Amino acid sequence: MGERVGVTGWVGVLGPLVAWRPVARLVQKFGGTSVGDPERIRAVADHVARCRRRGDEIVLVVSAMGKETDELLRIAAEVSATRPGREMDMLITAGERKAIALVSMALADIGVPADSYTGSQAGFITDTNHTDAKILEVRADRIAETLASGRVAVVAGAQGVSTDRDVTFLGRGGSDTTAVALAKALGADACELYTDVSGVYTTDPRVVPAARKMSRISFDELLEMTATGCPKPAMRSVEYAHRHGVKLHVRSAFTWEPGTWVVEEDPDMEHAVVRAVTHDLSEAKITVTGVPDRPGVAARLFRALADRNVNVDMIVQNASALGVTDISFTVPHSDVATATDVVESLKDELGAGGVAADTAIARVSVIGAGMKTNPGIAASMFETLSNAGINIDMISTSAIRISCVVAEPQAEEAVAILHDAYGLDRTVG
């Protein structure tokens, strides 16, 4: 990127001051709310024009407008019970395709030359796993040529073309991954994920208004956050960025202020032991009761679940009484029916008593890299919950995270009291 040089500013009282700096190549991704209506689309175009005046080279990645993806999924469910994956992908990717055309038009109107590209045109080659395809390769030469000719490339998020030549969708939140993968392929200086909040917060600002934006967060902490319910950025994009050394900046498409930089190691990490609280309502608990406590039972059960692609998360086996125990585990809501079916079909073979599913649970987690060297966080988390009369149903930990399953109606209260107990409304960035 050596020869790309731009003029960034010039007027000064002492005469014209020309400040030279290398041009930044930026991939800027805009989420659904950020391009949710014509006014928002024009605001994005104005922002791009400002960046270009500064000399930056811009590639945009755009999500479907507003809640369009949800709307398309809803219509599909009304039309079809089978919803073939190939056709679902053709349908869902239409949302992003509309958005890129509109953004490109808004850019043209203010004199910024821009071309829109579908995922396929932008060189995203994926596997054939419809509705949740994985990127195999990004052939970014066409986008690189667009930049070389001084134009803005506007790329549809969350899509590609499969090795079978069909249109594929990368899954919910896939536009973040598109942006990170393009940033890597183009050797961009940074990947900016613009959204409707001004960065990554100490907890969901919709749940706790006192939540604070973090100016930096480490990849490890952010990965734990996204794995336990924080929707922003999509977990796969964080993994991709970490693996490929892409610089990530999560920021606001409304205020344009600096947001949260995702870094390898955060020097502040030692100070705040707990840095964030997350919650996840997407899982359910399955309990198998009256299971004989003998070798092979868990192996048989979880092998059968794995064979049916059930995504098991937390597992708890109670101490046995009189040679009989209970096993509980959590699965995504979408896997409850299959998991129950698997357990029912094994009940006689295992000699189990029964199976029950509880969908009204929530997982609440506290996260912080400083936990590794600070004992007692688990105890203080349990005390905080117990002081509020919140019962803990299951517990799991990693080196930098502690998660508790609680009753769903108590999830938001649990998040708020933990956020307060660890002083997260008071810590700086």
**Where on the chain is the footprint of ligand ADP (CB under 6 A)?**
31-34, 63, 195-197, 200-201, 203-206, 230-232
In this chain, which of 69, 278, 287, 330 binds ligand ASP, going by CB under 6 A? 69
Rounded to a whole number of angstroms, the minimum distance from the CB of residue 93 to Mg ion is: 15
- Cβ proximity to ligand ASP: between 170 and 352 the closer is 170
- Cβ proximity to Mg ion: between 32 and 199 the closer is 32
- Cβ proximity to ligand ASP: between 95 and 123 the closer is 95
- Closest-CA residue to 57 (of 22, 105, 30, 31): 22
Q: Rule CB under 5 A: is residue 157 a binding residue for Mg ion?
A: no
Query: Where do we find the tokens 């098991």?
Result: 312
Q: Tell me which stretch binds ligand ASP (CB under 6 A): 168-176, 188-196, 268-276, 373-381.
A: 168-176
- Cβ proximity to ligand ASP: between 73 and 304 the closer is 73
SS3 348: helix
Dig out the tokens for 336 from the structure: 């409850």
- Closest-CA residue to 341 (of 301, 393, 289, 291): 301
Residue 31 neighbours by CB under 8 Å, 6+ apart: 63, 175, 193, 194, 195, 196, 253
Q: Rule CB under 5 A: is residue 36 a binding residue for Mg ion?
A: no
Q: Count CB atoms within 10 A of the CB of residue 61.
A: 32
In angstroms and rounded to an integer, the radius of gyration of the C-alpha atoms of the chain is 24
Cα distance between residue 173 and residue 168, in whole Å: 14
Specify whether the backbone of 131 is left (phi greater than 0), alpha (psi in -120 to 50) or beta.
Answer: left
Which among ligand ASP, ligand ADP, Mg ion, none contacts residue 350 (Cβ within 5 to 8 A by kind)? Answer: none
Q: Rule CB under 6 A: is residue 158 a binding residue for ligand ASP?
A: yes
Q: Rule CB under 6 A: is residue 173 a binding residue for ligand ASP?
A: yes
In this chain, which of 23, 32, 56, 223 binds ligand ASP, going by CB under 6 A? 32
Q: Rule CB under 6 A: is residue 278 a binding residue for ligand ASP?
A: no
In this chain, which of 31, 123, 174, 370 binds Mg ion, going by CB under 5 A? 31
- Closest-CA residue to 180 (of 246, 261, 106): 246
Please give the size of the binding site for ligand ASP, defined by CB under 6 A. 13
Strands 190-195, 216-218: parallel, antiparallel or unpaired by DSSP?
unpaired
Cα distance between residue 288 and residue 356, in whole Å: 7
In this chain, which of 23, 35, 64, 182 binds ligand ASP, going by CB under 6 A? 64
Q: Which residues bind Mg ion (CB under 5 A)?
A: 31-32
